Structure 1
Amino acid sequence: MEPALIGLIVVVALALAFDFINGFHDTANAIATSVATKVLTPTQAIAMAAILNVVGALTGTAVAKTISKDIVPQELATLELVGAALVSAITWNLFTWWKGLPSSSSHALIFSLVGAGVAAGGWDSIIRTGVEKTLKGLLYSPLLGFIVPIMLMAALSWLFLRRMRPRTVTRNFRWLQILSAAFMAFSHGGNDAQKTMGIITFALAAYSNTRIDIVPQWVILACAVAMGLGTATGGWRIIKTMGFKVVDLKPVDGFVAETSAALIIEGASRLGIPVSTTHTISSSIMGVGTTKGFKKVKWQVAGRIVQAWVFTIPVCIALGWACYRVAELFT
């Protein structure tokens, strides 16, 4: 077997490993609120999230095309560059999972790719418009994630909640929260699995030394399954942080947070914007919390989450750069 083909197989395996880790790292995105409110048991929530992650991953490739074409030019793609980006992103994901911090797998991958691209060809090799699109998603998705649930909760309160007894609200929204958790899992698969599709397509372009504009069907299926399997394993450290340590949630709160986040993520997916599902649902939970009163949100825990967001970009650029330099020593 030729060395280049072996390298491609290793890189694809790394990419699917990243996708699997992304799944269990981000399980909390879809199910933390429904587990915290006891609408679903952990087993039920994980099973539903795993299935709908797969279904969501099969619904489009706009984000994958952004990753494969709009961050680093395919003409500069090498297997060493892709491998370095994946090792960097996996390292950061495992570290933040160990610490129980809901950081962004998406931005870990993208900015690891930026770091490896800089090491390979300098800052001029980075496609500015693609990075700007990612940074806009990084800024606007949590901002909208914080504002939209406040507006949605205000609308629900004015239309329905003020006329209903607390027990009736809880009973009705238990059922509605199952639907919102399903929508959240679907949207998560639709945005996050596409990042791995994009990185594998980028690797295929490096191996074949040709431009690839369409994501191969086998890549779509492999990434969907890998994410679903990862989700099925659960990520309890982060589930505990998001579901129980930021704010005390009731079914109506979970419904509002999940619905708001899922709408934002789904919209971004259709526009080809790689947003962080973690940032979006975390900020939605905080937004819902503020409707109960500013002091109801455990801002110390929220501050730790924000720190992980802030550190992801510079750390992953540096890690991606370092991993590429190490890869150069062995090639």
Structure 2
Amino acid sequence: MDTAALVIVLVIGLALFFDFTNGFHDTANAMATPIATGALKPKVAVLLAAVLNLVGAFLSTEVARTISGGMIREDEISGAVFPAIIFAGLIGAITWNMLTWLLGLPSSSSHALFGGLIGATLVGVGVAAIDFGVVMSKVILPAVIAPVTAGLIAFSVTKIAYALTRRYDGKPDGRSGFRWGQIFTSSLVALAHGTNDAQKTMGVITLALLAVGWQSDPDPQLWVIVACAVTIALGTYMGGWRIIRTLGKGLTDVKPAQGFAAETSTASTILASSALGFALSTTQVASGSVIGSGLGRRGSTVRWRTVGRIAIGWVLTLPAAGFVGALAALVVVWFGTWGVMVDAAIALVIIVGLFLRSRRNVVDAGNAMSEVAESGHAVTVTGDPPPTRRRAAAAARREQDDRAGR
């Protein structure tokens, strides 16, 4: 195998690993709220999300074309150099994804990828190789507009849902029927995630193939679509329990009607963006939807300090991944082809190191859900008794019922 072919194989392998991390990193976007409200059992939820991610990956290639034929100007870069630059960018994206996964932070895998690619291209080639018009119109603006749009939709749907079911006010489980609706809407979110996020890895692999002349059409080949679809589905099935725990206990105390509204908004926003080729962040859209649903529920308040911490993570993602991508590209510039091998070794050490660190504090379906059940509190409801009092009251009612039965 010659050097160019070896680099392409490394790029494809690393791109698919990024796809895998994207899957387990973003499972929570679709499934944290139905798990927290009891609409779906944890393992059933992640299996459903995995299957629908797989299906969604086959429904559109618009986002893939945005990456493979728009953001990076291939004609400004030597074909021999470009795959190595892509490799460096992927290292930046994966490093950020693995770090935020370890910390349980719901950051954007999409922006990590864009940041890594842009940072590596700027250092390895130069400013001329970046089409900032496409970056602004298809990446930056959607990142700003999409969460706001999703929040407004979720706010409106929540208002409508509670207005239509007002007769259940004061009855804790009166709107539990929305749990069934959540199964449908969370499924739509998982399907939408496949139509948007799986496309990004397809675009990266296609971009590498275009650079070395192994492909002339910016549309991804069938084997690329299948490989990316299966990989993101496998990553989704792994569950991403750390992120689910964070979203479940640290972002929102979601009632079924709110979850239904938030997921409806998330799915519709992502599907519309995928059709237009906007490579947005599903994490940002999902978070915007949850905040909107909290504002739409009468008596609830949003804990803006929590929202602010999440927003800081969003802001840091692009530059942090870009910085790591730039460092990896610098190694390529210094050592040429050998730099790719050095980067590969460093990437392996980082991935294995972060994984081994995660084993010190294992988070799985069992312990993640026990904490998710305690529910978040970025959105709280005025007048709701604290969790301890709710549990005590429920136990007292059960004891009273048992005595009545005797």
- Asked if residue 82 in structure 1 is aligned to residue 86 in structure 2, the reply is yes
In structure 2, give the amino acid aligned to 1:141. Answer: A
1:45-97 deviations in Å (ceiling 9; x for gaps): 00000000000111010000001111111222511111011000000111111
Compare 53-62 and 321-330 and name the one that shifted more.
Answer: 321-330
The count of aligned residue pairs is 330
Q: 1:295 to 1:250 in 2, by over 3 A?
A: closer
Q: 1:157 to 1:170 in 2, by over 3 A?
A: closer
2:124 touches 2:333 (CA, 8 Å); kept in 1?
no
1:11-45 deviations in Å (ceiling 9; x for gaps): 10000000000000111011000111111110010
- Asked if residue 315 in structure 1 is aligned to residue 312 in structure 2, the reply is no
Q: Partner of 2:382 in structure 1?
A: none
In structure 2, give the amino acid aligned to 1:247. Answer: T
The structural deviation recorded for 1:187 is: 0.2
Aligned residues with identical type, % of pairs: 42
- Asked if residue 3 in structure 1 is aligned to residue 7 in structure 2, the reply is no
- Asked if residue 285 in structure 1 is aligned to residue 296 in structure 2, the reply is no
Greater Cα radius of gyration, structure 1 or 2? 2
Q: Partner of 1:122 in structure 2?
A: 126
Counterpart-to-counterpart distance in 2, 1:119 and 1:37:
47
Q: Name the TM-score, length of structure 1 as normaliser.
A: 0.95
Q: Partner of 2:96 in structure 1?
A: 92
1:263-318 deviations in Å (ceiling 9; x for gaps): 00000000000000000001111111223468633333322211110111222222
Counterpart-to-counterpart distance in 1, 2:292 and 2:92:
31
- Asked if residue 21 in structure 1 is aligned to residue 21 in structure 2, the reply is yes
> 4+ runs of 1 displaced by more than 4 Å?
none
1:204-252 deviations in Å (ceiling 9; x for gaps): 1122276432210100110000000000001111111112212211111
Pick from 300, 303, 306 the counterpart of residue 301 of structure 1.
306
In structure 2, give the amino acid aligned to 1:149. Answer: A
| Bigger share in helix | 1
1:166-208 deviations in Å (ceiling 9; x for gaps): 4664332111110001000000111000000000000111222
Compare 112-121 and 32-41 and name the one that shifted more.
Answer: 112-121
Structure 1 unpaired stretches of 5+: none
Counterpart-to-counterpart distance in 2, 1:8 and 1:273:
26
Counterpart-to-counterpart distance in 2, 1:219 and 1:225:
10
Q: Partner of 1:112 in structure 2?
A: 116
Q: Secondary structure at the match of 1:248?
A: coil
Counterpart-to-counterpart distance in 2, 1:295 and 1:167:
15
Q: Secondary structure at the match of 1:296?
A: strand
Pick from 137, 151, 157 the counterpart of residue 162 of structure 2.
157
2:74 touches 2:211 (CA, 8 Å); kept in 1?
yes
Counterpart-to-counterpart distance in 2, 1:155 and 1:104:
30
1:169 touches 1:252 (CA, 8 Å); kept in 2?
no
Counterpart-to-counterpart distance in 1, 2:173 and 2:331:
60
In structure 2, give the amino acid aligned to 1:230. Answer: G
- Asked if residue 248 in structure 1 is aligned to residue 281 in structure 2, the reply is no
In structure 1, give the amino acid aligned to 2:83. Answer: L
Counterpart-to-counterpart distance in 1, 2:322 and 2:148:
23
- Asked if residue 206 in structure 1 is aligned to residue 211 in structure 2, the reply is yes
Q: Partner of 1:49 in structure 2?
A: 49
2:11 touches 2:83 (CA, 8 Å); kept in 1?
yes
Q: Secondary structure at the match of 1:208?
A: coil
Q: Secondary structure at the match of 2:176?
A: helix
What CA RMSD, in Å, does the superposition of the two structures yield over aligned residues?
A: 1.6
1:246 touches 1:297 (CA, 8 Å); kept in 2?
no
1:247 touches 1:296 (CA, 8 Å); kept in 2?
no
Q: Secondary structure at the match of 1:214?
A: coil
Q: Name the TM-score, length of structure 2 as normaliser.
A: 0.78
Counterpart-to-counterpart distance in 2, 1:175 and 1:150:
20
In structure 1, give the amino acid aligned to 2:5. Answer: L
Q: Partner of 1:144 in structure 2?
A: 149
In structure 2, give the amino acid aligned to 1:302. Answer: V
1:101 touches 1:304 (CA, 8 Å); kept in 2?
no
Counterpart-to-counterpart distance in 2, 1:40 and 1:145:
23
Q: Secondary structure at the match of 2:106?
A: coil
Question: Higher relative contact order by CA 8 Å / sep ≥ 6: 1 or 2?
Answer: 1
Pick from 135, 140, 143 the counterpart of residue 135 of structure 1.
140
